């Protein structure tokens, strides 16, 4: 992901992040070998993952392959061609994405907490190489992550339509008959049209953009190892981050349906403005004679509404609970308060954010902020931001809180405050004050 997306966006592995023992060096090499094997397949026109630079952190070391100029600190791996290793986590690996390493577009992944089988991890690397390919082949793709923070995830009626849409897509994928598949795909597109009419235009654009950029990367990833469709009739919870995760699955679903309807559909991508996957599917279905009777019963529709209302209410109650639990975490608390200039978001993980309200965001994995006073990065732990403007994050941050610390070592020299440890790395100009277990850094 390049440009604005590379600055602000990180993507986590498809598998849930679980506590796991770091892979051994031999396990890391097995992942590389599996990647090299599946990368030989014809997965997308002109896509050559086997020659794309790839970098990943396995919990102990960072590995780099296919890179023409490895950064300082990487050394060749004995017996391996074009494979290098760095002791520890290299600063260029913070998430699963595509970025520049020594000026070269490179797929990166943090596999340190991902216990998935070797082939699944190899396919995840392939997913990230597709992002490097997309940046060059389809430069207009990519979502504006600003929209994620104001997406109306708490609208129960729209959530019910979304779930019916997902159920129709799942039925279209599950049926072996083409007419029945077309019928349920048509129903899904009709429901999507109704749902989109109730969303702000930027939210519609956001979903479609993620479906193309991430959904097609998931399509290639799953195709490489024969994984089935990711979308289920259960759909996803109402949180904003789950809207993004769902778009991976719906994007893949549209690609699979287009494969059945029109093997040449990929050739129509890449225009300006880009055509969306659901528009391609709707255009292909338009004018076709399809089976009838692909409708949800009144009971199914009402069940979707009741479930969505319940889930939205539970989600809203859970947001307050998450904030209370975070602030009550035992230990020291670090507070960084902006002065004349707010702290600006430099990087974050959109899969691991909770938008508590229009002012506060709980980042549960990765966040990097900075301004003229310096910068602070929090990795592998939670941080709470309070907005300085009308947007929850992108008008800047007034205050940052990190709770649950052992007593941090904070030093001040030459007008700079530094902190390095416990997942926090900061160099900031400002004053430091300590009261009981609260350490407060006030920026000028």
Distances (CA, A) of 346 to 305, 365, 428: 38, 14, 15
Strand (E) or helix (H) holding 213: none
Check whether 10 has a pLDDT greater than 50. no
CA distance 14 to 9: 15
Q: Across residues 330-348, what is the average pLDDT? A: 96
Of the pLDDT bands very low, low, confident and very high (cuts 50, 70, 90), residue 19 is very low
pLDDT of amino acid 292: 73
Whether 212 and 278 have beta carbons less than 8 Å apart is answered as no
Share of the chain above pLDDT 90, in %: 83
Check whether 441 has a pLDDT greater than 50. yes
Tokens of 90: 């290299």
pLDDT of amino acid 289: 63
Of 436, 405, 398, whose CA–CA distance to 419 is shortest?
Answer: 405
Q: No. of H helices and E strands in the chain?
A: 10, 19
Pick the more confident residue, 177 or 119: 119
Q: Which residues pair with 57 in a beta bridge?
A: 62, 110
Q: Across residues 337-360, what is the average pLDDT? A: 93
pLDDT of amino acid 165: 98
pLDDT digits (tens, 9 = 90+) for 171-199: 999 998 889 999 999 999 999 999 999 99
pLDDT digits (tens, 9 = 90+) for 90-99: 999 988 998 9
Whether 219 and 196 have beta carbons less than 8 Å apart is answered as no
Of the pLDDT bands very low, low, confident and very high (cuts 50, 70, 90), residue 17 is very low
Check whether 425 has a pLDDT greater than 60. yes
Of 64, 86, 296, whose CA–CA distance to 170 is shortest?
Answer: 296
Distances (CA, A) of 399 to 87, 337, 363, 386: 34, 5, 13, 5
Of 125, 112, 122, 121, whose CA–CA distance to 20 is shortest?
Answer: 112
Check whether 20 has a pLDDT greater than 50. no
pTM of the model: 0.85
Distance, CA of 276 to chain centre: 19
Distance, CA of 170 to chain centre: 23
pLDDT of amino acid 300: 97
pLDDT of amino acid 71: 96
Whether 74 and 85 have beta carbons less than 8 Å apart is answered as yes
pLDDT of amino acid 389: 93
Eight-state DSSP code of residue 10: -
pLDDT of amino acid 12: 36
Mean pLDDT of all residues in the chain? Answer: 91
82: left (phi over 0), alpha (psi -120 to 50) or beta: left
Whether 143 and 206 have beta carbons less than 8 Å apart is answered as yes
Q: Is the dihedral of CA 124, 250, 131, 228 positive or negative?
A: positive
Whether 133 and 32 have beta carbons less than 8 Å apart is answered as no
Check whether 8 has a pLDDT greater than 50. no
Dihedrals phi, psi of 330, to nearest 5 degrees: -60, 145
Tokens of 185: 């795909």
Q: Which residues pair with 129 in a beta bridge?
A: none
Whether 96 and 121 have beta carbons less than 8 Å apart is answered as no
What is the CA angle 57-62-65, rounded to 5?
105
pLDDT of amino acid 274: 87
Q: Which residues pair with 405 in a beta bridge?
A: 332
Check whether 423 has a pLDDT greater than 80. yes
CA distance 243 to 153: 8
CA distance 244 to 236: 10
CA distance 276 to 271: 10
Within 8 A by CB and 6+ apart from 103, the residues are 69
Check whether 387 has a pLDDT greater than 90. yes
CA distance 427 to 234: 45
Dihedrals phi, psi of 384, to nearest 5 degrees: -110, 130
Whether 243 and 195 have beta carbons less than 8 Å apart is answered as no
Q: What is the CA radius of gyration of the chain?
A: 23
How many CB atoms sit inside 10 A of residue 194's CB? 12
pLDDT digits (tens, 9 = 90+) for 38-73: 999 999 999 999 999 999 999 999 999 999 999 999
Of 152, 179, 203, 184, whose CA–CA distance to 312 is shortest?
Answer: 152
């Amino acid at each position: 992901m390049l440009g604005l997306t590379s600055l602000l966006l990180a993507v986590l592995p498809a598998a849930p992040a679980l506590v796991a023992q770091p892979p051994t060096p031999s396990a890391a090499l097995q992942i590389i070998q599996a990647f090299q094997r599946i990368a030989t397949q014809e997965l997308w026109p002109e896509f050559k993952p086997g020659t794309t630079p790839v970098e990943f952190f396995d919990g102990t070391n960072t590995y780099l392959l296919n890179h023409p100029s490895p950064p300082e600190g990487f050394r060749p791996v004995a017996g391996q061609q074009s494979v290098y290793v760095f002791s520890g986590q290299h600063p260029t690996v913070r998430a699963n994405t595509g970025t520049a390493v020594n000026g070269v577009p490179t797929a990166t992944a943090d596999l340190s907490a991902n216990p998935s089988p070797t082939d699944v991890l190899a396919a995840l690397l392939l997913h990230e190489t597709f992002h490097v390919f997309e940046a060059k082949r389809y430069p207009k793709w990519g979502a504006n992550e600003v929209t994620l923070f104001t997406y109306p995830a708490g609208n129960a009626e729209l959530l019910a339509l979304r779930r019916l849409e997902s159920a129709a897509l799942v039925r279209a994928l599950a049926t072996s008959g083409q007419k029945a598949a077309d019928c349920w795909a048509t129903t899904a597109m009709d429901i999507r049209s109704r749902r989109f009419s109730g969303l702000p235009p930027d939210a519609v654009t956001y979903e479609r953009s993620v479906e193309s950029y991430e959904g097609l990367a998931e399509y290639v990833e799953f195709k490489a190892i024969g994984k089935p469709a990711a979308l289920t009739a259960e759909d996803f919870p109402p949180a904003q981050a789950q809207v993004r995760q769902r778009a991976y699955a719906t994007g893949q679903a549209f690609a699979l349906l287009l494969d059945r309807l029109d093997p040449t559909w990929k050739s129509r991508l890449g225009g300006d403005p880009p055509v969306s996957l659901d528009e391609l599917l709707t255009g292909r279905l338009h004018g076709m004679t399809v089976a009838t009777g692909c409708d949800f019963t009144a009971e199914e529709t009402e069940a979707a509404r009741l479930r969505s209302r319940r889930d939205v209410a539970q989600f809203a109650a859970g947001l307050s609970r998450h904030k209370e639990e975070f602030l009550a975490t035992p230990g020291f608390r670090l507070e960084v308060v902006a002065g004349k200039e707010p702290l600006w978001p430099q990087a974050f993980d959109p899969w691991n954010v909770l938008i508590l309200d229009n002012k506060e965001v709980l980042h549960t994995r990765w966040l990097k902020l900075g301004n003229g006073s310096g910068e602070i990065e929090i990795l592998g732990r939670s941080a709470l931001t309070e907005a300085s403007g009308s947007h929850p994050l992108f008008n800047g941050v007034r205050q940052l809180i990190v709770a649950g610390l052992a007593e941090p070592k904070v030093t001040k020299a030459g007008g700079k405050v530094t902190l390095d440890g416990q997942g926090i790395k900061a160099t900031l100009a400002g004053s430091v004050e300590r009261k009981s277990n609260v350490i407060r850094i006030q920026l000028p």
